[in-house]
């Protein structure tokens, strides 16, 4: 249901408490007390037939006795009563409800049936529901404690969404100790309606929430979650603690890929693709929360470690090393500044050990020298108890020194009771404090990971140097021939070939005599492999013989394979053997494959190949759709990538060909949801060129059609079209691609200042990387963006114009914009682009599209009128708001005039 009525839940004017009680120790009493003592300024409406008044508020017997249109109902009665209560809420036109009650799906089928009934009633009636089985929500900044947690936490800028009430309680307790504040604190419960995707979208658009923390046990509506996270992580860090890292839930699979692409590894890949930082424990979640809530985010990994003890400094360095990092070397100017006042025996490097007798003044001078350095992204101050060192003055110095710093300054104060007052001083001053160097460094590095995620999200992927073509018709005919199970190996090879994936051709022989005949046709040397649907790993069964150089070798190999298989698995179905040319001494062996995950759809795997694939488990996972940049990142996350760049006397692999293979595999998975598992192992690389020598594809029926089986919307090829401008120019209109950044830059350079002013409502000298990423890296689920390209242009810089509709999270409303280069204005290009965008929006279920147009932009106002927009003047700015309601006009996708 998107963002519908969420504002009523988080900014209510009146709250009904259903099940309110006078009895202390009950949830109904706690809810009333928290609302009153928290300072909620709206109207509190207790509902309970036992009372006439409750804690000074008039009490009604039933929801049916309430006034219509209450913003929020909190339901704290047994779950089986919630069905009738929710029905009453819908009839009274309430906007939202929090169901505290447990006993839903978590207790079995009976509870699930109750939840299903509640869900249908709420959905049909437009009632938003948080829970059930939750603690409620807290918004300290507006004095709203709509839950049964005992104390109102401090107001701050950190939003927390947790699926576990116990985790909620633990975080609140730790936050009180560390004096942390929250903008939102939400116990999401069983997610009958409102889920993590809804919350990310809502919090992403709430300026009071600067960072978002999630505790996740499971996800629903994964595509919505990914869309929301990919959008919001660009502007706010999202930190996730996902429980269930153990492999206990991972089932055996029929291929190398299936075995290595376990459920938790898929979550890792999805979080990374969405720009989310994942932590491993509640301690790390809280440590990250404290750093995010109190300090600016780092620009990079260059950390200075300032300490009065050598041992703690070494511990910090060891933690950095564990993550592949090192302390930033000090520049000569900083060393010279430190030499001026530090004792002769200081460390003269990073960590900056200023010795055990360091006073607050010495700490302060050293910190000042660090602040003056231009080579640092953060400073960790470690205080270790020493006989003559007083922690309190050092803490007071640090508290006064951090104000206004552009990068994080955080502290590790080691010790027990002797440092409690110092830690309190630092917490009050907004300095994150940690009790060990490891925790401090780890938190910093998680924030560095977020900064790196942002850089990746705005990086422009390079284009392929040649066009890729796919024989979808051929591949479909091969898949249609398999109801379920593994495709015949020859068909699997043919299918990969149809998508341009390089595979060594294999010929099948059923008898020894056929094998001898085929050997002469192919030529020596040869490889012979067992062909059996019952044996996944041929090597284990003795089913592979290499480097066959004569007919005698072929006969011997055939007999040896049949004998070995008989011993390995006597009941295996044997379909014969395959013969292929033998590639001797390849430079490298890699694995490419795919697996269909239950929640995330198809997942691509890349890693080290050959017989040690599952032993070494050097692999990385990615989600389609892929481009060259994503393919490169996928390879860079493996250890084998270091070898592929060239190692000793072995030449480097052709990286573009490997990237192309990954993109082609991605397209195959996009087009055919029926692919359950796919293995190309090994892919041999010889003289730089890759070729797969073995292929297995398992088909499993699915009711989900192409593109809907993905959690990231692919490029919508169906939105491509052709038109002619009024002067006869042939124009290709297509959706925006991430690789289009150079085209946008070239188009911008052709614009006059007036056109720039009309489009951007101000002066703009150029498009920075953030803007380019915003314009080109499109989430096709929530944004419609089309470009017009000159089909006859001799260069790539052929973009003539662009139009887009940016959708609201509710999927019903969007805001349009249009830009056409000055040289091509007045030729019908802008009209055609926007008309096509509107047609797509209507097809996708949009109800309203609007946009602001400057009153002096007469051409755009005329275009809006031509396309059926209503034109309203903004009383404050005198600019014009153009609005189109699809129910009030007859624009149809098939009714385009071009």
Q: Is the pLDDT of residue 810 over 90?
A: no
Kindly state whether residues 33 and 106 are assigned to the same domain.
yes
d(CA 681, CA 591): 5
Q: Is the pLDDT of residue 611 over 60?
A: yes
Q: Total domain count for the chain?
A: 4
Query: Mapped to the 3 state alphabet, what secondary structure does 383-423 carry?
Result: ECCCCCCCHHHHHHHHHHHCCCCCCCEEEEECCCHHHHHHH
DSSP state of 463: P
- CATH code assigned at 370: 3.40.50.261
- CATH code assigned at 781: 3.40.630.30
Look at residue 200 in the predicted model and tell me its pLDDT: 96
Beta-ladder partners of 526: 548, 581
Kindly state whether residues 307 and 385 are assigned to the same domain.
yes
The structure tokens listed for 402 are 């951090």
What is the span of the domain harbouring residue 62?
1-133
Kindly state whether residues 381 and 300 are assigned to the same domain.
yes
- CATH code assigned at 95: 3.40.50.720
Look at residue 809 in the predicted model and tell me its pLDDT: 80
With beta carbons less than 8 A apart as the criterion, state whether 230 and 177 touch: no
Instruction: Give me the sign of the Cα torsion angle 479, 480, 486, 489.
Output: negative
Query: Mapped to the 3 state alphabet, what secondary structure does 564-626 carry?
Result: HHHHHCCCCCCCEEEEEECCCCCCEEEEEEEEEECCCEEEEEEEECCCCHHHHCCEEEECCCC
Kindly state whether residues 126 and 109 are assigned to the same domain.
yes
Look at residue 568 in the predicted model and tell me its pLDDT: 95
Beta-ladder partners of 721: 733
Confidence of residue 745 (pLDDT cuts 50, 70, 90): very high
Decide the pairing of beta strands 378-383 and 409-413.
parallel
With beta carbons less than 8 A apart as the criterion, state whether 98 and 131 touch: yes
d(CA 539, CA 561): 10
d(CA 229, CA 236): 10
d(CA 416, CA 414): 7
- Identify whether 191 is part of a domain: yes
- Give the Cβ contact number of residue 874 at 10 Å: 11
- Identify whether 14 is part of a domain: yes
384-421: pLDDT as tens digits: 987 677 899 999 999 999 877 888 999 999 988 888 89
Beta-ladder partners of 485: 699
Q: Provide the CA 511 distance to its chain's centre, in angstroms.
A: 52
Kindly state whether residues 743 and 792 are assigned to the same domain.
yes
- Identify whether 40 is part of a domain: yes
Look at residue 260 in the predicted model and tell me its pLDDT: 56
Lowest-confidence pick of 376-380, 453-457, 794-798: 794-798
- Identify whether 567 is part of a domain: no
Counting residues of the chain whose pLDDT is more than 90, the rounded percentage is 74
Helix or strand or coil: residue 665? Answer: helix
Confidence of residue 726 (pLDDT cuts 50, 70, 90): very high
Kindly state whether residues 314 and 449 are assigned to the same domain.
yes
Kindly state whether residues 321 and 273 are assigned to the same domain.
no
Kindly state whether residues 278 and 300 are assigned to the same domain.
no
- Identify whether 313 is part of a domain: yes
- The last residue of a domain, from among 74, 104, 133: 133
Please report, for residues 5, 18, 72, 185, 780, the alpha-carbon distance to residue 44 in angstroms, rounded to integers and kept in the order given: 19, 11, 10, 20, 43
Instruction: Give me the sign of the Cα torsion angle 550, 555, 556, 560.
Output: positive
Kindly state whether residues 221 and 317 are assigned to the same domain.
no
DSSP state of 220: S
- The last residue of a domain, from among 458, 493, 509: 458
The structure tokens listed for 368 are 């000042």
- Identify whether 869 is part of a domain: yes
- Identify whether 524 is part of a domain: no
Kindly state whether residues 112 and 169 are assigned to the same domain.
no
Phi/psi of residue 885, nearest 5 degrees? -110, 120
DSSP state of 534: T
Indicate yes or no: pTM above 0.75. Answer: yes
Sheet with 576-581: list strands edge to edge. Answer: 507-509, 576-581, 526-531, 544-548
d(CA 227, CA 754): 35
Look at residue 534 in the predicted model and tell me its pLDDT: 86
485-502: pLDDT as tens digits: 999 888 999 999 999 999
With beta carbons less than 8 A apart as the criterion, state whether 675 and 699 touch: yes
The structure tokens listed for 138 are 């807290």
d(CA 168, CA 182): 12
252-278: pLDDT as tens digits: 444 545 555 568 899 999 999 999 999
Q: Is the pLDDT of residue 819 over 60?
A: yes
- The last residue of a domain, from among 133, 165, 180: 133
Instruction: Please name which of 298, 553, 270, 568 lies closest in space to residue 441, comparing C-alpha atoms.
Output: 298
Q: What is the CA radius of gyration of the chain?
A: 32
d(CA 59, CA 375): 64
Kindly state whether residues 167 and 314 are assigned to the same domain.
no
Instruction: Please name which of 414, 161, 170, 154 lies closest in space to residue 294, comparing C-alpha atoms.
Output: 154
- Give the Cβ contact number of residue 586 at 10 Å: 19
- Identify whether 603 is part of a domain: no
Beta-ladder partners of 144: 139
| b/e per residue 711-727 (b: at least 16 CB within 10 A) | bbbbbeeebeeebebee
Kindly state whether residues 418 and 311 are assigned to the same domain.
yes
Sheet with 14-18: list strands edge to edge. Answer: 43-47, 14-18, 72-75, 96-99, 128-130
Q: Is the pLDDT of residue 895 over 50?
A: no
d(CA 196, CA 162): 9
């Amino acid at each position: 249901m998107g963002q519908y009525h969420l504002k009523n839940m988080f900014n209510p004017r009146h709250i009904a408490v259903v099940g309110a009680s006078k009895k202390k120790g009950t949830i109904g009493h706690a809810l009333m007390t928290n609302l009153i003592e928290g300072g909620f300024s709206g109207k509190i409406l207790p509902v309970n037939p036992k009372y006439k008044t409750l804690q000074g508020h008039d009490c009604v017997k039933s929801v049916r006795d309430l006034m219509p249109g209450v913003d929020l109902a909190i339901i704290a009665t047994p779950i089986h009563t919630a069905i009738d209560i929710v029905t009453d809420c819908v009839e009274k036109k309430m906007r939202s409800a929090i169901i505290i009650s447990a006993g839903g799906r978590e207790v079995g089928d009976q509870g699930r049936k109750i939840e299903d009934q509640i869900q249908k009633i709420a959905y049909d009636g437009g009632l938003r529901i948080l829970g059930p089985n939750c603690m409620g929500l807290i918004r300290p900044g507006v004095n709203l404690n709509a839950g049964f947690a005992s104390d109102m936490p401090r107001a701050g800028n950190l939003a927390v969404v947790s699926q576990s009430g116990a985790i909620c309680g633990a975080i609140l307790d730790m936050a009180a100790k560390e004096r942390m504040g929250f903008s939102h604190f939400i116990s999401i419960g069983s997610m009958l309606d409102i889920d993590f995707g809804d919350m990310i979208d809502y919090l992403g658009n709430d300026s009071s929430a600067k960072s978002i923390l999630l505790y996740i046990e499971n996800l629903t509506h994964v595509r919505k979650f990914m869309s929301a996270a990919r959008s919001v992580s660009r502007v706010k860090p999202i930190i996730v603690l996902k429980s269930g890292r153990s492999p206990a839930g991972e089932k055996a699979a029929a291929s190398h890929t299936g075995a290595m692409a376990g459920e938790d590894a898929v979550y890792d890949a999805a979080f990374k693709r969405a720009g989310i930082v994942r932590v491993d424990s509640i301690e790390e979640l809280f440590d990250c929360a404290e750093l995010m809530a109190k300090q600016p985010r780092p620009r990079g990994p260059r950390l200075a470690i300032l300490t009065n003890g050598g041992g703690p400094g070494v511990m910090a360095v060891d933690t950095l090393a564990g993550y592949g990092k090192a302390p930033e070397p000090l520049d000569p100017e900083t060393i010279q500044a430190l030499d001026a006042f530090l004792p002769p025996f200081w460390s003269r490097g990073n960590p900056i050990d200023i010795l055990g007798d360091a006073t607050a003044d010495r700490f302060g001078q050293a910190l000042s020298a660090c602040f003056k350095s231009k080579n640092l992204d953060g400073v960790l101050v470690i205080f270790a108890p020493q006989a003559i060192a007083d922690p309190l003055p050092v803490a007071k110095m640090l508290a006064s020194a951090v104000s206004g710093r552009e990068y994080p300054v955080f502290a590790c104060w080691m010790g027990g009771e002797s440092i409690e007052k110092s830690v309190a001083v630092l917490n009050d001053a907004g300095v994150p404090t940690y009790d060990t160097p490891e925790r401090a460094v780890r938190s910093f590095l998680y924030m560095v990971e977020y900064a790196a995620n942002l850089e990746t999200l705005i990086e422009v992927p390079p284009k392929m140097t040649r066009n890729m073509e796919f024989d979808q018709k051929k591949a479909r005919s091969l898949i249609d021939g398999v109801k379920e199970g593994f495709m015949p190996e020859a068909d699997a090879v043919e299918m990969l070939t149809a998508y341009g994936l390089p595979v060594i051709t294999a010929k099948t022989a059923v008898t020894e005599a056929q094998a001898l005949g085929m050997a002469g046709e192919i030529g020596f040397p040869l490889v012979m492999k067992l062909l059996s649907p019952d044996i996944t790993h041929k090597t284990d069964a003795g089913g592979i013989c290499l480097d066959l150089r004569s007919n005698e070798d072929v006969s011997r190999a055939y007999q040896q394979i049949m004998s070995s298989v008989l011993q390995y698995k006597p009941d295996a179905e044997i379909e014969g053997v395959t013969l292929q040319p033998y590639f001797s001494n390849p430079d490298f062996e890699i694995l490419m494959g795919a697996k269909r995950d239950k929640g995330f759809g198809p997942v691509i795997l890349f890693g080290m190949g050959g017989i040690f694939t599952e032993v070494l488990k050097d692999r990385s996972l990615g989600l389609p759709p892929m481009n060259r940049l994503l393919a490169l990142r996928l390879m860079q996350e493996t250890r084998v990538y270091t070898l592929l760049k060239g190692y000793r006397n072995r030449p480097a692999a052709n990286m573009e060909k490997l990237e192309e293979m990954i993109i082609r595999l991605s397209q195959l998975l996009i087009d055919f949801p029926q692919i359950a598992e796919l293995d190309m192992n090994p892919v041999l690389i010889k003289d730089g060129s890759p070729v797969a020598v073995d292929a297995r594809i398992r088909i499993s029926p699915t009711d989900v059609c192409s593109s809907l089986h993905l959690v990231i919307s692919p490029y919508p090829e169906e939105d491509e079209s052709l038109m002619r401008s009024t002067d006869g120019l042939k124009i290709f209109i297509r959706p925006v691609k991430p690789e289009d950044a150079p085209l946008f830059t070239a188009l911008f350079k052709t614009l006059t200042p007036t056109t720039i002013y009309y489009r951007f409502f101000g002066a703009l000298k150029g498009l920075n990387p953030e803007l380019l990423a915003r314009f080109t890296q499109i989430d096709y689920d929530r944004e419609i963006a089309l470009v017009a390209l000159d089909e006859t242009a001799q260069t790539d810089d052929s973009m003539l114009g662009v139009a887009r509709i940016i959708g609201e999270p509710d999927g019903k409303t969007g805001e349009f914009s249009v830009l056409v280069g000055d040289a091509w204005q007045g030729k019908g290009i802008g009209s055609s682009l926007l008309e096509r965008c509107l047609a797509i929006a209507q097809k996708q279920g949009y109800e309203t599209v609007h946009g602001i147009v400057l009153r002096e932009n007469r051409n755009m106002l005329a275009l809006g009128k031509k396309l059926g927009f209503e034109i309203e003047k903004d009383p404050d700015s005198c600019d014009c708001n153009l609005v189109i309601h699809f129910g009030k006009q007859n624009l149809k996708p098939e009714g385009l005039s071009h």
